[in-house]
Structure 1
Amino acid sequence: MTILVTGAAGFIGMHVAEALLADGRRVVGVDNLNPYYDVTLKEARLARLLLYKNFTFYNCDIADRPALFAALGGHPQISLIVHLAAQAGVRHSLNRPFDYTHANITGFLCILEAARQMANLKHLVYASSSSVYGANSQLPYSVASMTDSPVSLYAATKKANELMAYSYSHLYDIPMTGLRFFTVYGPWGRPDMAYWRFTEKILRREALEIYNHGDMQRDFTYIDDVVKGVLAVLASPPEKKGEAAAHRVYNIGNNRAEKLLDLVAIIEKTLGVTAERRLLPMQPGDIRATFADIKAIRRDIGFEPSTRLADGLPKFVNWYRSYIKG
């Protein structure tokens, strides 16, 4: 069995690929190592994967259809896809909107077109985002909640991905599952995320910029729980029922909303440093709170996150300190 993992040098992508490789699966990884954040971090993640003999990597932009098809053409045995490659970041989408249509719309379309030509494909799992809930203020977010009011272009592209996936699943009978990730954190994480930036700034004795005057909550989900969820979903493709496509969407979160200021306090305690805080207004495109209702994925897949923020965050902080020391 061969599994395609896009965004293999990304945070979630590396962890998912490594879990599959350690389990003896053949993995084809695709990533273009774009400079949205420090490329050396992506290269370090990739170096871990390249230690496995059952890993094949292509430095390829998923929106470059000829290059993508050429790379995947040599792997007709691909039977599963975990599509995680995307342009991430809400605030970045305010300044670089075309990065999002390129990677998240054109790139996803290229993946869907590649998928429909794979004779052995059994299931395509793709990354959506909790951002699709946008202006919806009803917490916790249920997969049945409204997702028609995105407050950022990033969120709009992720909602578009869900619609595109449904149409391709309907047209070509490809089982697909979208995963709405809720603020994933942990070792090898992303430098643009608050938990990374706060850790970095506290160690540098720099003031923390905290938006909405600290009145923010996030459903922080530890990477090990996310990987277990992704692999369990991957092994359980949806079935076509009547006229409905074999397509479903799940929340994948920790099922609890944590205060942002509590996250800061845990980092301070782990580092033994008290941070200076600059409380600022809400930023455009941001939302005050996220909170995942995971009833559906718990019922269908048995997903049960087990890592509390107070336990998972120190693991990231300790990893970060060892990483920056080289």
Structure 2
Amino acid sequence: MRLDYKEIDKTKTYLITGAAGFIGYFLSKLLLEQGCRVIGVDNINDYYDVNLKYARLKLLKPFEKFISIKGDISDKAMIMKIFEEYKPNIVVNLAAQAGVRYSLENPDAYIQSNTIGFYNILEACRYNPVNHLVYASSSSVYGANKKVPFEETDFVDHPVSLYAATKKSNELMAHTYSHLYKIPATGLRFFTVYGPMGRPDMAYFGFTDKYFKGEPIRIFNNGDFENDLYRDFTYIDDIVEGVERLLSNAPTDAIPHRVFNIGNNSPEKLMVFIETLEKALSKTIGREVVFDKIFEPIKAGDVPATYASTDLLQEAVGFKPETSIEEGLQRFADWYVEYYKVK
């Protein structure tokens, strides 16, 4: 069923968990710029450089309608208190323990945040009814799916990492709560989000860090350029526009739960992405940048390709991401050099 696209409702209160995170920051900023009231929750964990998280929050603080709360979604009493006090109309759950490879080292963090934390959000929505719950899933739920592009109706019962398993469990939990308690909920399967002020644990950011430290980068594709890894790299502005368009467009079906891909619908070979990043950095600093590359076998939990079908999203809210990797990586390169003062 097609959703009738509605503009963002500025009279509503928006609760965004993970507001100091990459997507959370940009979404909060977009809503605040339109005059919305935003309650931002984040535990500022040290999975990556907390200074970057504080830098994002600092840019949100001048907005009068922004309320920042330091807290962890795995703390049920705190979450219930926030819902009771601020009575959010629309909830966007972006707080999660991110990263596929880190889930091999620290599984506890994923269960605590992604499973227990999300359960607490669902419980809070159950007892404090909301107009719409939007939550982050991930392209990782598709596992090593060979059929491309990935469609929301594809079989997703074979996750290849604990991170993917927790995201799949989020979708099942949301579906169940929607069915039982009529909570309008939308899950978003994000595909490799990148851009300025991004996550330092992401490959493009790590490659740039390594270059300026004079260190080689490690590429997990066995040096096989013919059968290189493909990724559906999606620029941050495209991601937040897609999310924003969905916020006021809650599902109204018998079971009010939906899942959408948000990806670029245009996968790139990893090596092409790396070469484009080299060119972007070269342009920013005015000299040729070539990474020193070490090729290694693909890591456990990684998948050979991600490729989103965005037809459902386009049909629902008339939106399809369009930012090219050349444009997106140039913006990242310009930001990185300015932010870290490197040459």
TM-score range, shorter chain: over 0.9
- On the 8 A contact 2:84/2:128 being kept in 1, the answer is no
Query: How do 1:120-199 residues align onto structure 2 when only pairs under 5 Å count?
Result: 121-199=130-208
One-letter code aligned to 2:24: G
| Deviation digits for residues 211-231 of structure 1 (CA, Å, limit 9, x no counterpart) | 022521100000000011000
| Deviation digits for residues 59-113 of structure 1 (CA, Å, limit 9, x no counterpart) | 000001112222332112x110111000000000001001000000000000001
Deviation at 1:270, TM superposition (A): 1.9
How many residue pairs were aligned?
321
Paired with 2:47 and 2:341, the residues of 1 have a C-alpha distance of 22
Q: Which 4+ runs in 1 deviate beyond 3 A?
A: none
SS of the aligned residue for 1:290 comes to coil
The corresponding residue for 2:9 is none
2:274 is the alignment partner of 1:264: yes
Paired with 1:39 and 1:226, the residues of 2 have a C-alpha distance of 23
2:316 is the alignment partner of 1:305: no
Deviation at 1:154, TM superposition (A): 0.1
- On the 8 A contact 1:28/1:56 being kept in 2, the answer is yes
Query: How do 1:96-115 residues align onto structure 2 when only pairs under 5 Å count?
Result: 96-115=106-125
TM-score by length of 2: 0.92
- On the 8 A contact 2:17/2:40 being kept in 1, the answer is yes
The corresponding residue for 2:331 is 315
Deviation at 1:201, TM superposition (A): 1.3
Deviation at 1:275, TM superposition (A): 1.2
Paired with 1:275 and 1:322, the residues of 2 have a C-alpha distance of 20
Identity %: 51
The corresponding residue for 1:216 is 229
| Deviation digits for residues 15-49 of structure 1 (CA, Å, limit 9, x no counterpart) | 00010000000000100000101111111111111
| Deviation digits for residues 224-255 of structure 1 (CA, Å, limit 9, x no counterpart) | 000110000112111123xxx11000000000
Deviation at 1:135, TM superposition (A): 2.1
Deviation at 1:202, TM superposition (A): 1.8
SS of the aligned residue for 1:73 comes to helix
The corresponding residue for 1:33 is 44
Paired with 1:213 and 1:135, the residues of 2 have a C-alpha distance of 17
Out of 90, 102, 107, which is 2:100 matched to? 90
TM-score by length of 1: 0.96
Paired with 1:198 and 1:224, the residues of 2 have a C-alpha distance of 22
The corresponding residue for 1:73 is 84
Paired with 1:125 and 1:67, the residues of 2 have a C-alpha distance of 20
- On the 8 A contact 2:280/2:326 being kept in 1, the answer is no
One-letter code aligned to 1:257: P
2:48 is the alignment partner of 1:43: no
Paired with 2:211 and 2:193, the residues of 1 have a C-alpha distance of 21
| Deviation digits for residues 134-169 of structure 1 (CA, Å, limit 9, x no counterpart) | 021111111111100000000000000000000001
Paired with 1:31 and 1:71, the residues of 2 have a C-alpha distance of 12
SS of the aligned residue for 1:213 comes to coil
- On the 8 A contact 1:222/1:307 being kept in 2, the answer is yes
SS of the aligned residue for 2:187 comes to strand
- On the 8 A contact 2:186/2:257 being kept in 1, the answer is yes
- On the 8 A contact 1:129/1:155 being kept in 2, the answer is yes
Paired with 1:141 and 1:322, the residues of 2 have a C-alpha distance of 37
Paired with 1:72 and 1:17, the residues of 2 have a C-alpha distance of 18
- Residue ranges of structure 2 left out of the alignment (5+ in a row): 1-11, 282-287
RMSD, matched Cα: 1.1
SS of the aligned residue for 2:316 comes to helix
Deviation at 1:297, TM superposition (A): 0.7
Paired with 2:145 and 2:290, the residues of 1 have a C-alpha distance of 35
Out of 265, 276, 300, which is 2:292 matched to? 276
- Residue ranges of structure 1 left out of the alignment (5+ in a row): none
